[in-house]
Structure 1
Amino acid sequence: YKAIVDDNIAAGRVEDKNINIGLFTYPVLMAADILLFGSDVVPVGLDQQQHLEITRDVALTFNNTYGDVLTIPDAMIREEVMTIPGIDGRKMSKSYNNVIPIFAPPNQVLKPVKRIVTDSKRPEDPKDPEDCHIFAIYRHFADADAVAAKRELYLEGGLAYGAMKQELFELLEATFADKRDRYNVLMNNTDELDKILEEGSEKARAIATPIMAKVRKAVGVSA
């Protein structure tokens, strides 16, 4: 909702243009996806915490009305990965068009990396790594020693943004190249992908079916 409103304001349109019922029913669908499997802890990013709060409200309201049926979930938010920044510094999101497509061919990964927004400091100028969008992404994939060394280089000066973008690209390639290969294998072999999905659905169904039966019984709906 916020992303659409922000885009409308930026474009000079009415704030609620293109706002539809799906934006309001979707949080309920997300709540159902969590509650249907009896999840007690849900790992999420910071931006998803509100969805967990809505889910908790739904579950608490249901339990207060029909008895102790649904598990009340808690959010698990790891501080170091609670928000992944995009190339413009905002949360990485397709809605903001600021993503790095890690499963795309290398040239399509490099293109948005080169577009990461930076300030006008010269290579020899000291820089604050906490204000750099390149470093904000880099720190999620480099090891602790590399991050610490890069932080010192920022503070001392002598680091060019262009070189840092190239290093980030190479780091992303080292991290995701084999995963991209696996992704392409699956996307080109839908039979294997369908088999994996079917196995997953069977596992999910075994958990969800008894919970759904409890919900139906509680509200008086026959199976």
Structure 2
Amino acid sequence: MAIINGKRVSIPTPREVEGSKIKKASNISPNRRLVIEKEENSFETIKDEGIYKLDDFTKISNIPDRTKGNFFEIRSNLSKEIIKSQVIDLGTKLFRNQDLKFDEINCDWFIVPNYRLPKNWHHLAKETPLLIVFPTDYPNNPPIGFYLKADLKISPNGHFYDLAYHSAAKEPLKCGWKWYCVYVQDKAWQPHFVRGINDWKKGDNLWTYFQLITEVLESTDH
């Protein structure tokens, strides 16, 4: 037995059970996923190929699946090629005098070492390192905010946090970064369907996202 969404469910023996059998026993609906509730409000997603030790007090929840916020997972080759192409395009045109730092292996992130801040920031700093983290399903979904070095401390516009919201990647917060909120509403991001590698230029892309960054950093709205 295990407790799934408050109900006791019979789980096949032995106590060490494949994730696929737990899902089958729970009659999970499409676009939902199962998580094991652990101590201190932590959760572990149940995967089909995983092996899990269950007892009568194991609590399992059935929650909505999500695509946004998946970071640092296995990225498709197409996603990698699109990200590489976009970063190279920005590097040769927008940041051509800078030595961009880029994750060339999995294409999870890239850093502009000296991003020029707008005038309303100049009492704090004229430039700063800026980090972009790409969702695993990029370009279908955009980055969720961006990151500036934590020693910048404050923003004249607000929106600058020690925590990451909207399921943004939290890993950079452990490495001296703070998160700046630029959240694209559902269905507002419209990348072009890619048949050839340059098709990304016809829809929303990294250039679009840097336009949003410029706009939000210059904004006087809080």
TM-score class normalised by the smaller sequence: under 0.3
Structure number with the bigger relative contact order (C-alpha 8 A, sep ≥ 6) is 1
Higher alpha-carbon Rg: 1
Q: TM-score, normalised by structure 1?
A: 0.27
Q: TM-score, normalised by structure 2?
A: 0.27
